[in-house]
Amino acid sequence: MKIKTGIGIDIHRLEPGLDFWLGGIKLEHEKGCVAHSDGDVLIHAICDALLGAAGLDDIGVYFPDTDPAYKGIDSKILLKKVIDMIEDKGFAIGNIDCVVCLQRPKIKMRTLEMRECLSEIMGIDVDEITIKATTTEKLGFEGREEGVSAYVTVLIIKL
C-alpha cells in the first residue's frame, strides 16, 4: 500500500456585500470573499492538498481565474472534479485535516455541517474530515477582518 500526503493553503480578501461560502455552506456574515469563483477558501485548500498529494498541478492550472467558465462557480463542483482526477490516478482519501483562520464569524457551531457537506461530495466518512477554527487574536489580516485563510493536509492511499 502506498500512501501520500499533501498540503493546501488558500487566502481570500473579505469585502462587504458578498456571500461568504466556507466548507460548501453559506454563512451569514456582512462580508464575503473576493474571488473569481464563489471564494470558498476551505474547499480551494482541500483541492490543492489533494492535487499535490496525487502529483498533479495546483487548482489554478485546472480551473484558471482567467476562464469565464469558472466565473462564480460553486466550489463544490470543482472539488468533485478534483476527486474524479485523483480517483483516475488510483487514489482514495485516507483523511483530511483543516484549519481555518478568521476573526469572525465564529464557525465552531457550523463545522459538523461543513464536514457533512464535504463528506457527501468526496464520498468519504464524515469522521475522516476535521475542521478546526482559530482567530489570530486580532493580529494580521485575519485579525483585522480583511481576509480569511485555510490550511489543509490530506492523506491519500493508492488502491
Percent of the chain having pLDDT more than 90?
96
Considering the domain 2-158 in this protein, what is its CATH number? 3.30.1330.50
Return d(Cα 95, Cα 153) in angstroms, integer: 8
pLDDT in tens, 30-75: 999 999 999 999 999 999 999 999 999 999 999 999 999 999 999 9
- Tell whether residue 130 is among the known ligand binding residues: no
- Tell whether residue 110 is among the known ligand binding residues: no
- Tell whether residue 63 is among the known ligand binding residues: yes
Residue 151, beta-bridge partner list? 9, 99
- Tell whether residue 44 is among the known ligand binding residues: yes
- Tell whether residue 91 is among the known ligand binding residues: no
- Tell whether residue 52 is among the known ligand binding residues: no
- Tell whether residue 11 is among the known ligand binding residues: yes
- Tell whether residue 134 is among the known ligand binding residues: yes
pLDDT in tens, 72-117: 999 999 999 999 999 999 999 999 999 999 999 999 999 999 999 9
Residue 1 has pLDDT above 90, yes or no: no
- Contact indicator for 126, 119 with CB cutoff of 8 Å: yes
- Tell whether residue 141 is among the known ligand binding residues: yes
Return d(Cα 32, Cα 136) in angstroms, integer: 18
* Segments making up each domain of the chain, as ranges: 2-158
